[in-house]
Amino acid sequence: MLNQSIAPAQPKREFSVADEVVYNRSGPVRWIISHLLRYPQLLASFLFAALLTNVFFASIPRFTGLAFDEVLKPAPDPGRLLTLALSILGVVLVRGMLDITNAWSVETLGQRMERDARDELYISLLGKSQTFHNRQRVGDIMARATNDVRQLNPMMNPGVSLITESIIGILAPLVFIAFLRVELLVAPLLFVIVYPFALRRYTDQLNPVSGEQRWRFGEMNAGLTETITGIQVVKSAAQEAQEQRKFGVQARLVRDLFVKQGEIQARYLPILLLGFALTGAFAHGLFLVSRNILSIGDLVAYMGLMGILRFPAFISIFTFSLVQMGLAGARRILELMKEETELDENKGGYAAPIRGEIIFDHVTFHLDNDTAGLPVLRDISFRAAPGETIAIVGQTGSGKTTLTKLVNRTYDVNAGRILIDGVDVREWDLDSLRSQISTIEQDIFLFSRPIDENIAFGMGQQADRLAIEAAARAAQAHEFITSFTDGYRTVIGERGVTLSGGQRQRMAIARALLTDPRILILDDSTSAIDSATEDQIQRAINRVLEGRTTLLITHRLSQIRRADRILVLHQGQVLDQGSHEELMQRCDLYRRIFAHYE
C-alpha cells in the first residue's frame, strides 16, 4: 500500500499494517471519495474521457443537420457533403477511442476500490477486540465483507460512470442547442429544471428500501451461517423443517423488498417528463420552421440533440438503484469499521523478552464493561513467580477462563492491574506480549489447512519442518499424523472436524510448544485425551516448559498435585490459595470438589 493519509488517524485497535492508507470514514460519500482520490490519474482520465465523449456525441446531430441543409439545396456541394461525412466518421472513431479510455479508467477504479475496501475491512476486523467479535454474528459480518463490498464495484461501473456521463450528456446538448438558437432552450431547460425534483423523489423512495435490503440480506445470511455451523445440533434435534421455515421467512422478506424496489422503479417519472419535453420541443421547432426562423437541418439537429437527453433520463432508473445499493453497502461497512473496540495495540509500547512473573493486583473485571452489573472477577490478587505452575480450580462459572484471558489482554481489567515482569500489561506492545504467551483451550480451533501449517500457525513462515516434527513428537501427535496418507501435508476439515478431540488437542499442544512461550495457559487442555497419552504429554510439557510460567485450569488431580500453588475461585473471587494438602485441610469448597479422589 501507498504511504498516504487521507483522513485523521483511526481509533484504537489491536492490529495494523505498515504504510496503511487511512481513509475518511466520516460518512459513506466521503469514504468513497477518499478511496477514489487515491487514484487521481485514473479519476482524471475517466472524467476527461467522459467529457470529450459526450461533446463529440453531441456534435454528431449538428453535423447531420448541416448535411440535411446541404442536401436540400437546389445544387448540393458533393465536396461539402463528403467533408461532413468524413467529419462524422472521424468523430465516431475518436469517440470510440475515448470510450475505451473511459471504460478502462472507470472499470479499473471500481475494481481497485472493491479491492481496497475489502483490504480495509479485513484489517479493521483483525484489529477489533474479542469483546467486539463476541457481539457480532458471523453471517452478518460475512454478508458485509462479501456482498456489501461487492456492491461498490457496480456502484462505480456502471453506476457512477453512467450518472457522470448522463450529467455531461445533459449539459453538452444544451450548449449545442444554444448555438443553434437560444430560444430553443425553452423545452430542454424546463425538462432540466423539473428532472432533479423527479429524481429526488425517486431516490428518497429508493434509499430506505435499498438500506433495508442490505440489512435483511445480512440477517438472512447470518441465520443461514448459524444453521450450517450448527448443523450437527439441527440434525440431532430433527429441526431441519423448523430451520427451513425460518430461512423461508427471511428469504421472502428479502424478495418482498426487491418487489418493492421494482414498484418504485415502475413509477419512475423522468421518462414521462422527457416525452412531454420532446413533444414540446418538436412543436416549438416546427413553429420556428414555419416562420423561416429555423431551417430543416437545424430542426433535425435540434431533435437529435433532444434525443440525447433520452439517455440520462432512461439510465437514471438503473444507475441510481446501483448507487443507492452501493451507498447502503458502504454505510453498513462503515458501521462495522467505526464500531468502538476496547483495546489498542500500543505500538511502540514496552517490548522485551518475558521472564514470566505475573501479578494480579486487586483486579476487577466486568464483561462488556457492564459496570452496573455484578463483576465476573472481583478483587483478585495473587503472584506467580517465573517458572511457577499455578493451578486454577473452581465450579463452573467461577471465572477461571476469564481470569486467564486477562493475562494476554484478550480483555482488559476494569479496576486494578495485571503486571508481567513488573510492567502493566496495558503498557506492553500488544504483539510483543501475545507472541510470548500461548493458550491451549478445551475447544480447539484448527484451520482447514495442512497439518504442518496448523502446527506452525503461531510462527508464521518462520518454522521449519524439523521443528514442526519435534513439537509434534513432544505432544505425542507424530504417530497419528504419519498414519495419514499425506502425513503432515494432510488437509484437515474446517475447525478440525476430521480429527478426534484428542488429536485436535495434541495438535494444539504441538502448536504451543513450537512457539516456545514464556507463559503458557492450559485451559482443561487434556480433557479429551486418554490417561496413558495424557501422562506422556504431561511429561513432555513438564520437560519443555521448565522455567516457564504456567496457568493451569483443570479438575484432574494428577495435574493439580504437580502445581506449585492452587487458586480456588468462587463466584469471581479467590476463596483460598495454597498446596493441595493445605486446601484439603482448610477449604470446604476445594474439599467438596476433590474429596472423592482421596
Partners of residue 577 on adjacent β-strands: 567
Q: Quick one: 390 and 247 in the same domain?
A: no
**How does pLDDT run across 513-550, given as a tens digit for each residue?**
888 888 998 887 665 566 666 666 666 566 656 678 99
Torsions phi, psi for 381 (to 5 deg):
-140, 125
Tally Cβ neighbours within 10 Å of residue 478.
19
Could you give the number of structural domains in the chain? 2
Q: Which of 271, 304, 338 is the last residue of a domain?
A: 338
Q: Is the pLDDT of residue 59 over 70?
A: yes
Same domain, 256 and 398: no
CATH number at residue 72: 1.20.1560.10
Residue where a domain terminates, one of 338, 370, 394: 338
Q: Give dist(CA 118, CA 150) in Å, integer.
A: 9
Residue 121 within a domain:
yes
Range from 40-44, 138-142, 378-382 carrying the lowest mean pLDDT: 138-142
* 295-321 pLDDT, tens digit each: 888 888 888 888 888 887 777 777 877
Q: Locate cell 433495508: which residue?
A: 212
pLDDT for res 48 = 92
Instruction: Assess whether 365 and 278 both reside in one domain.
Output: no
pLDDT, position 30: 93
Q: Is residue 433 part of a domain?
A: yes
Grid coordinates given for 364? 476487577
DSSP reduced 3-state for 305: helix
Closest CA to 435 of 554, 547, 345, 525: 345
Is 470 found in the same domain as 416?
yes
| CATH code for the domain of 393 | 3.40.50.300
Asked if residue 300 and residue 369 are part of one domain, the reply reads no
Return the pLDDT at 372: 59
Q: What is the pLDDT, as a whole number, of residue 4? A: 46
Given this model, what pLDDT does residue 42 score?
93
Per-residue burial over 224-254, b if 16 or more Cβ lie within 10 Å, else e, is bbbbeeeeeebeeeeeeeebeebeeebeeeb
Backbone φ and ψ for 391, nearest 5 degrees, come out as -90, 140
For CA atoms 202, 206, 208, 209, the dihedral sign is: positive
pLDDT at position 371 over 80: no
Q: Are residues 171 and 120 in the same domain?
A: yes
pLDDT tens column, 141-170 = 888 888 889 889 989 988 888 888 888 888
Task: Single out the residue in 338, 367, 392 at which a domain terminates.
Answer: 338
* Total Cβ atoms within 10 A of residue 291: 8
DSSP state letter for 319: H
Q: Does residue 131 register a pLDDT over 90?
A: no
Q: How far apart are CA 302 and CA 186, in angstroms?
A: 12
Whether 177 and 286 map to the same domain: the answer is: yes
Per-residue pLDDT reduced to its tens digit, 9-25: 456 777 777 788 889 98
Residue 197 pLDDT class (50, 70, 90 cuts): confident
In a shared domain, residues 447 and 392: yes
Residue 477 grid coordinates: 501427535
Residues 371 and 317 in one domain: no
Cα 118 to its chain centre, rounded Å, is 6
Pair (98, 181) in one structural domain: yes
Least confident stretch, 14-18, 92-96, 270-274, 406-410: 14-18
- Assess if residue 108 is contained within a domain: yes
What is the share, in percent, of the chain residues with pLDDT greater than 90? 19
Instruction: Give the pLDDT score at 534.
Output: 65
Residue type, 564: D
471 with 525, same domain: the answer is yes
Q: Is the predicted pLDDT of residue 229 greater than 80, yes or no?
A: no
* Alpha carbon distance, N-terminus to C-terminus of the chain: 63
Beta bridge partners of 350: 428
CB neighbours (10 Å) of residue 308?
22
Q: Which three cell numbers stand for residue 230?
A: 450448527
- Are 453 and 330 contained in the same domain? no
10 in any annotated domain: no
Domain that holds residue 177: 28-338
* pLDDT, position 226: 78
Is residue 345 one of the residues assigned to a domain? Answer: no
Q: Which residue has better confidence, 340 or 58?
A: 58
Has residue 7 got a pLDDT over 80?
A: no
Q: Is 12 a member of any domain?
A: no
Confidence of residue 214 (pLDDT cuts 50, 70, 90): confident
Closest CA relative to residue 207, chosen from 327, 316, 32, 330: 327
Asked if 54 and 168 count as a contact pair (C-beta separation under 8 A), the reply is yes
Within-domain flag for 575: yes
- Contacts of residue 465, defined as CB under 8 A and 6 or more positions apart, other chains included, come to 452, 488
Q: Is residue 459 part of a domain?
A: yes
- Peptide bond preceding 61: is omega within 30 degrees of 0, i.e. cis? no
Note the pLDDT tens digit of each residue in 332-368: 899 888 887 777 888 888 999 999 999 999 999 987 6
* Side chain identity at residue 537, one-letter code: I
Q: Identify the residue with better confidence: 469 or 339.
A: 469
